[in-house]
Amino acid sequence: MLKNVDHMIETTISNDRKKNQLVLAVAKYTQGMSVLTIHQKLLLEEKEMFQDLMDEFFQLWVELFADEGITNYIHMLGSGHLLYFLKKYDCL
């Protein structure tokens, strides 16, 4: 689904600013998730890169959807909880 999400966003959102921001947010999310799915022990730099991407995603997401867009999962991504567990246990 994420491979086609840009097309869905392009065809359903008319506000260009929101459309571009949502496409960028999804790109950050997708890049971050690709780090988690490489199926090997991550280096510290990779863990921190993941969190940097999630921080960028979170900032864009909150600008778009405010408090209503912050689910428990979104909170975990933006708060650094996953980075904490990555550092502590090396994998999720």
Better-predicted residue by pLDDT, 25 or 6:
25
**pLDDT given at position 38:** 84
Local structure of 38: helix, strand or coil: coil
Better-predicted residue by pLDDT, 24 or 39:
24
Establish if 12 belongs to a structural domain. no
Establish if 21 belongs to a structural domain. no
Cα 63–chain centre separation:
14
Task: Residue 80: give the domain boundaries.
Answer: 29-92
Number of domains in the chain: 1
- Rounded to an integer, what distance in angstroms lies between the CA atom of residue 41 and that of residue 24? 27
Rama region for 27: left / alpha / beta (φ>0; ψ in -120 to 50; rest): alpha
Confidence label for 1 from pLDDT (cuts 50, 70 and 90): low
Establish if 11 belongs to a structural domain. no
Establish if 17 belongs to a structural domain. no
